[in-house]
Amino acid sequence: MMKINNYVVIVCMLLLANVVVGQVGEYRYKRSIKDVKDIWHSIRLPQDVLNHTNVDNSDIRIVGYDQSGKEIKVPYLLTSLKDEVLIESKVANLFNTSRLDSVYVYVAETEEIGKINAIDLGIDKLNFDGRVKLEGKVGEDWFVILEDYRIFSFSKPSGSYAYTRLEIPLSDYKSYRISLSNIVEPTLNGVNVVRRSEKKGAYYTSNATIKHIEDNSKLNTSKYLIQLDYPSRIAEFIFDVEGDYDYYRKIELSAIVDSIQSKSGWKKLRNTFYKESLISTEGGKVSFNDVVANSIEMTVYNLDDQPLQFNSVIARTPQYNLVARFLDDCDYYLNYGNSGAHPPQYDVLNFQDSIPESMTALKLGEVSIHKSKEVVDDFFIPTSVLYAIMALIIAVIGWFTIRMLSTESEGGE
């Protein structure tokens, strides 16, 4: 009887292992790739694909099937189409430092960099709210570029922040005169002239609303709920704050992933993915690593300030462009949706210079869902737990096997 019971336990363990391995190894979604005619093609991944892939894109695969049914792996290169900022900066030479009453004047001479659109001031001082007048020199004359331009710096328990960049129209002066006021004995350690260019990317935007939940007077915090229409991949929020004033607030963003019932009622399970600052000088924009969510709770630490009032919020994520190499005459498919997948490693990653710049873009067919995945969908387990279960199964099977062999050996004697 003991031997039969051991066999029953082992069989049950093997069946459970089969379910776990199936969950780790399968791709839930599949879409056909249409009109493959050349070696190189590009595919702009739809938002629906990004919403159902791993946030690191590790589960995206392209496979082909020839007439004999043989599976062909297709290498690809995936590129994010987020905004790109290019910055060229050079140190300017400082001379002719002077002071007129409470105004400190510096002259900076630039090297050959061409037209610039920003100047960074290296002011070694905290907690000031200063004003700048900037002039450019042509011949013996000085022409005003900026006047009464605000720069500031502060340090408080929630953090330190400095805004000392002068944003200017494209300028091409050899010398710049910088007049600082409303700052007590500033120390200007250096000046960098900057040429900043931005390449606009391509983004998917998800419908989002923001609602005030509560204020906590003891903690000096405010809570808000950001709600999306459905679970979507997001990497950035842009907040429209009511009022025309500067602000700097520490915030936390937490995705509401589930709810459980306890003795005191329903309790929300949260995954905090952002603990940084919301700053007016950055246009109310916060960026973070990709996350998939449809309900996000935001906590704002007000300290002694009044709570912020939000008019609206924009949720967006960069689009992705996939470039793939097709060598065989096959029916091709894009597979995705596998929480246990690891990032693929292809040779094309090391030979990107050989990829042509121009190629035909392909479209994807309708999505189909693997039925075997649906069976375990209501019993879906996180990847880390799956591997722990697999390790436990192996250990239990090994223990029962050793025990059975030991029992048979004793019986033979």
DSSP 7-55: HHHHHHHHHHHHHHHHHHH---EEEEE----SSEEEEE--HHHHHTS-T
CB atoms within 10 A of CB 107: 19
Give the model's pLDDT for residue 19.
Answer: 43
The secondary element (H helix, E strand) that includes residue 199 is strand 188-199
Residue 44 and residue 14 share a domain: no
Q: Which domain holds residue 287?
A: 203-318
Residue 180 and residue 223 share a domain: no
Residue 362 and residue 294 share a domain: no
Residue 257 and residue 245 share a domain: yes
Chain segment 171-192, per-residue pLDDT in tens: 999 999 999 999 998 989 999 9
Task: Determine the 3-state secondary structure of 405 from DSSP.
Answer: helix
Give the model's pLDDT for residue 135.
Answer: 97
Q: Work out the mean pLDDT of the chain and round it to a whole number.
A: 87
Lowest mean pLDDT among 65-79, 196-210, 335-349, 383-397: 383-397
**Mean pLDDT value of segment 393-406:** 68
Q: Which of the listed residues 199, 222, 256 is the one where a domain comes to its end?
A: 199
Q: Which of the listed residues 199, 224, 241 is the one where a domain comes to its end?
A: 199
Residue 232 and residue 244 share a domain: yes
Confidence class for position 234, pLDDT limits 50, 70, 90:
very high
Domain count, the chain: 4
Confidence class for position 282, pLDDT limits 50, 70, 90:
very high
Residue 44 is assigned to a structural domain of this protein: yes
Residue 308 pLDDT more than 90?
yes
Residue 122 and residue 17 share a domain: no
Residue 181 and residue 132 share a domain: yes
Give the model's pLDDT for residue 381.
Answer: 46
Residue 260 and residue 183 share a domain: no
Residue 113 pLDDT more than 90?
no
pLDDT over 70, % of the chain: 82
Residue 246 pLDDT more than 70?
yes
Residue 212 and residue 288 share a domain: yes
Query: Residues 6 or more apart from 336 whose CB is under 8 A from it?
Result: 27, 28, 29, 49, 52, 53, 59, 60, 61
Confidence class for position 20, pLDDT limits 50, 70, 90:
very low
Instruction: Say which CATH number the domain at 296 has.
Output: 2.60.120.260
Residue 313 and residue 247 share a domain: yes
Residue 37 pLDDT more than 50?
yes
Residue 306 is assigned to a structural domain of this protein: yes
Residue 309 and residue 212 share a domain: yes
Residue 183 and residue 125 share a domain: yes
Residue 323 is assigned to a structural domain of this protein: no
